[in-house]
Amino acid sequence: MRLVILGGPGSGKSTQARQLCRHLGIVEISSGNILRRAIASQTDLGHKAQPYVEKGELVPDEILIEFMRQRLLQPDTAKGWVLEGYPRTAFQAEELDFLLEDLNQQLNWAIYLTVPESVMMTRSVARYVPSEQTPPTQNQAQDSTPSTKSRLDDHPKIVPRRIELFYERTVPILEYYGYRQKLLTINGDQPPEQVQQNILHKLELDD
């Protein structure tokens, strides 16, 4: 199964991606976690991404696209994956399709977790704990491991920009996947277990 999870900040993407991966026994690839870890470990990718991530701006497409290309060629992706936070722009979505075509693979579904803007704001800001700003350690090496509860970009001054970018750059992807009949829209403004159940039901994976 190959899935993409789309949604604004605080829509529950990472919680749902994690649970889905556990359920399906496939790998979670979270672009946000990868970038936060790269920044903490001061890798080349981290150096390039840091100025964007800390301001809540999107990392340039070409950086992410090349990284994801390499990531999706790794052997642990053979059984399938859930991409969380990627693609985030129409260009990334198109490039993902080109890459999958090259690999002779197909995306099954793009799952869109819809929540009101006010919920994006309150959930993100609620995660922000100024005293816990220690970056993730290198031990948190897996893509799917939550990097840290508190994120600098959940700062109340940065979240509005992330929300704005979600509407400007990511919402257009919904049409892209809708047109290809790959879009599943799920109400994300419910308890996480309910959201998960609804996703499994739509994927026809509930018992």
End-to-end CA gap in the chain: 17
Q: Distance between CA atoms of 150 and 126, rounded to whole angstroms?
A: 9
Tell me how far, at minimum, the Cβ of 207 lies from ligand AMP, in Å.
31
Binding site for ligand AMP (CB under 6 A): 9, 31-32, 35, 52-53, 56-59, 64, 85-86, 88, 92, 153, 162
Tell me how far, at minimum, the Cβ of 48 lies from ligand AMP, in Å.
11
Q: Distance between CA atoms of 37 and 202, rounded to whole angstroms?
A: 32
**Which residue number is nearest to ligand AMP in terms of Cβ?**
32
Which one, 37 or 199, has the nearer CB to ligand AMP?
Answer: 37
Query: Of 6, 26, 1, 2, nearest to 177 (Cα)?
Result: 6
Which one, 137 or 197, has the nearer CB to ligand AMP?
Answer: 137
Report the side by side order of strands in the sheet with 109-114.
Answer: 27-30, 81-84, 2-6, 109-114, 183-187
115, 191 Cβ separation under 8 angstroms = no
Which one, 160 or 207, has the nearer CB to ligand AMP?
Answer: 160
Q: Say which residue the tokens 């991409």 belong to.
A: 83
Which one, 9 or 24, has the nearer CB to ligand AMP?
Answer: 9
Which one, 104 or 107, has the nearer CB to ligand AMP?
Answer: 107
Instruction: Mention every residue, 6+ apart, whose C-beta is less than 8 A from residue 199.
Output: 16, 20, 111, 184, 186
Tell me how far, at minimum, the Cβ of 92 lies from ligand AMP, in Å.
6
Tell me how far, at minimum, the Cβ of 178 lies from ligand AMP, in Å.
19
Tell me how far, at minimum, the Cβ of 80 lies from ligand AMP, in Å.
19
